[in-house]
Structure formats: structure tokens, C-alpha cells
Amino acid sequence: MATPKSFDQFVSSDLAMLLVPLEQERKKVASMARISYILGGIGVILFLVSSSSGQMAFAVSGFILFGVAVIIFFVFRSNKEDYVSSFKEKIVRSIIKFIDPELEYKPGLCINENDYTNSGLFLQRADKYWGDDYVMGKRDKTSFCFSELHTQHREGSGKNEHWETIFQGLFFIADFNKNFSGRTYVWSEKDPQLNFFTRMFSGLEKVKLESPDFERTYIVYGTDQVEARYILTPSCMERMVKLDEMLGGRGISFSFVNTNIHVAIPGHELFEPSVFSPNDNRDLGNYYYTVQMVFEVIDELKLNDRLWTKE
């Protein structure tokens, strides 16, 4: 089993050698960005000087420098993409395989949009949908997959058009350990979308549960009160509250649909390496703990306990 101690040893022995050439590549990419910013800044200053002094030479020089900065910036963007892709293939893939050789990692893919929509966790339509770092595997009896997702909704029109983030973070789907036919949704009390949630719009009813701690953290809607209580047993609710605490009270949401559990954990980019600072042990540890966090969800919710329910 991959433990934090064994992971530290893995970083020192295996990853250290892979990181050396990648660090050189990172420095080159970072330098390119800095040169672009500096030239662009000088170009803007020369434009400002020319507008106050009326000297055309400053304007021409500023235009040339700004143009060069733009070209270098686009080269930087391309090189950055190459660096990130290389880092994921060599470092992130190695970390994931170290945790569990059976896990599949596809850095360019994400959770299918239909699965996201069918989860029912988000009430607004996603007008923009993208993500990456798709991981799929099995932990004991439980099949699962997760990826980073970022979805946005278009607000307004014309000059007033802007984009509002619906969700950004880790989206996780797993086979639940009980059979059920209805739909049950568990939203964090912190979820801003609940401000415009209406029962008539959703066709759901609020589920009353006998757990003050749980109801301080979550609010539950479902198609069947009895089935919701069948899913959300007292021990399950206790573990969900504990899970929220373990993950720092991020505002996790759950849905139970089509015998699957969907979990949305707000956060930021999962496996994206920094270009402007070295990837140290702490950064590498964050990649390790991201996968471990998914295992904690499975273990904490006891999805592998399938007595009298599913095999």
C-alpha cells in the first residue's frame, strides 16, 4: 500500500531523476514569459512617452517592442503547454501508477458531460464545459472515476455578457453500495445555487432527517423520502459530516442517481505544475493526496461494504 513515507522515498529515488530535465525546461519557459512581460511593459512606457512628448521615434520603438513581446508570449504559451504535457506524462502518471498500478490516467480527458448533467447536482445549464486529468479505476469492489472539471454559465448579452463559474474542482463518480431507483441530492448549506432553488422547478421535495449535525452541514432533496433515508442512514450521515470536516469544509455536494454516487468537491487545478516556481516535495505531495482524497471518500463512506445489498 502506498503510504506517505513510501511516497517520500519514491520521490527521492525515482522522481528526482525525472525532475532534473523537466526543471531545466521549466526555467526556459519561465524566462520566456518574463522577457515577454518586460518587453511589453517597456513598449507601453514608450507609447506613453511618445504621446506626451510627440516624438515618433518613441512610438515606433514602443510598437516594435510590444509586437516582439506578443510574439514571444505566444511562443511561451505553446512551450508551456508542451512542458505541462511532458510533466503530466512523466511525473503525474508515475505518481498515479505508484499509488495503484491498475489506475488509468488520461490527462487530456475529463468526466463525460452527460454524466455531469445526469448527476443533477448543478441547476444551471453549462454553456462552457471543460476539464482534464481523468483517472479511472477500482478500489476493492467499487469502480470509480474522477477528473478536474470547470463549467460556466453565460449571463447577460451584448456588452453586458459575462461568464459565471458553476463548478470548478474535482468531480467524482462511483458505484454505490446499495440499489435504488429514485434520486437523492445532498447539497452543502454553503452552496450558492440554493439561493434560487425552487421545489416546483426541480420536482423534488425536501427530506427531513433526524441528525442536527448533518442538517447544519447539508440540505437534502429527493424523489422519495423513504429511499432517501434508506441511503442516508445515521452512520452514513455521520461519515459525510466527518468527510466535509476532513476536506476543510469546502462545501461538498453529493447525488445518488442511477445506483451511482456523484461527489463534487470544489477546489482548483488538480495536477497542474507551476511554471514560475520549482515543483518541490510539497507540490508532488499534493498530487499524491489528491488521489488519496478520492480513496478517503470511498473508504469513509464505506462504499465497499455491500452486505445484503450489492455484490
Confidence band for 172, pLDDT divided at 50, 70 and 90 = very high
The mean pLDDT of 173-187, rounded to a whole number, is 88
Helix axes 234-246, 281-300, angle to 10 degrees: 170
User: pTM of the predicted model, to two decimals?
Assistant: 0.85
The closest of 152, 153, 149, 166 to 110, measured between CA atoms, is 149
**Each residue of 65-111: pLDDT tens digit?**
888 989 999 999 999 999 999 999 999 999 999 999 999 999 999 99
The mean pLDDT of 47-63, rounded to a whole number, is 77
Strand partners, 155: 162
How would you classify the pairing of strands 142-155 and 205-206? unpaired
The mean pLDDT of 166-183, rounded to a whole number, is 89
Confidence band for 255, pLDDT divided at 50, 70 and 90 = very high
DSSP, collapsed to helix, strand or coil, labels residue 75 as: helix
Q: Please give the mean pLDDT across all residues of the chain.
A: 86
Written as one letter, the residue type at 20 is V
Confidence band for 272, pLDDT divided at 50, 70 and 90 = confident
**Each residue of 127-150: pLDDT tens digit?**
999 999 999 999 888 899 999 999
Contact at 8 Å (CB) between 237 and 209?
Answer: yes
Cα–chain center distance at 143 = 19
Q: What is the DSSP letter of 210?
A: S
Q: How far are the Cα atoms of 93, 136, 231, 240 from residue 66, in angstroms, in the given order?
A: 39, 45, 60, 53
Asked if pLDDT for residue 246 goes beyond 80, the answer is: no
Four-CA torsion 141, 146, 106, 154, nearest 10 degrees: 160
Contact at 8 Å (CB) between 259 and 180?
Answer: yes
